[in-house]
Amino acid sequence: MSKISELAIIEDGAVIGKDVEIAPFCFISKDATIGDGTTIAQNSCIYGKTTIGKNNRIFSNAVIGSIPQDLKFNGEDVELIIGDDNTIREFTLFNPGTKGGGGKTIIGNHNLFMGYVHLGHDVIIGNHCILANAATLAGHVELGDYVVIGGMTPVHQFVHIGDYAMVGGASALAQDVPPFCMAEGNRATLRGLNLTGLRRNLSRDDINVLKSAYRELFESGKPLKDTASELLDTTKNHNVIDLCNFVIKTKRGIPFERKGV
């Protein structure tokens, strides 16, 4: 049975699932859908065509689905889609997509967004990611699974961050971070593999193979994409294949210190 405060404003047309809790002074748009078991704390606002899945926890003063912070936005039909089991802490701001970016911002499952996190328009986020306090993603940023972004870190628009990557706190990221890697600094550069995250999720053998591939790619001084292509011809390890394909496909480049240059 849902517990909805009489002091909440829920527009006609909103779809509210089972066992939903909505605290006083919340606003829910007529085009919103709230999944079963989700809780929404005081003073939070759910705007526009926003779909929120099951068992999400939204803390006080979150603003979810308000129009994109993009001057080209002209009232088009856009949406924000949030999966299941996410934790969205205080004063977060999530924007929907834009016409130029496909019209959708998409968030996966089991993510943690700490206080004051901002997700810009057309962002795509995978599963099991952690964004610490005041991390800020500009428009069109894409995160894989198990990504960690430290607090007070802005990420430039169109940046792609691969699975199991980590970006240190108080960094400024303007280029792509390959999967399994760690970047830090202003401007952020690669510092090695995200070994702490990898030890929690991969075998020792897989980590050792990734260490060898990382050295070959980023510390040998050889042309990056040529080296990635050579590794693809010799490896059968699916993690190395993912790493090399990411390097080959990057559009914004990889921020690393080139040896021998």
154-155: strand order across its sheet: 9-10, 27-28, 45-46, 63-64, 93-94, 118-119, 136-137, 154-155
The residues with which 64 forms a beta bridge, in sequence order, are 46, 94
Buried b (16+ CB within 10 A) or exposed e, 157-181: bbbbbbbbbbbbeebebbbbbbbbb
- Residues involved in catalysis: 121-122, 139
Scan for tokens 């010799």, then name that residue: 234
Q: Tokens for 116, please give them.
A: 């004051």
User: Given the structure tokens 């430290």, which residue do they identify?
Assistant: 150
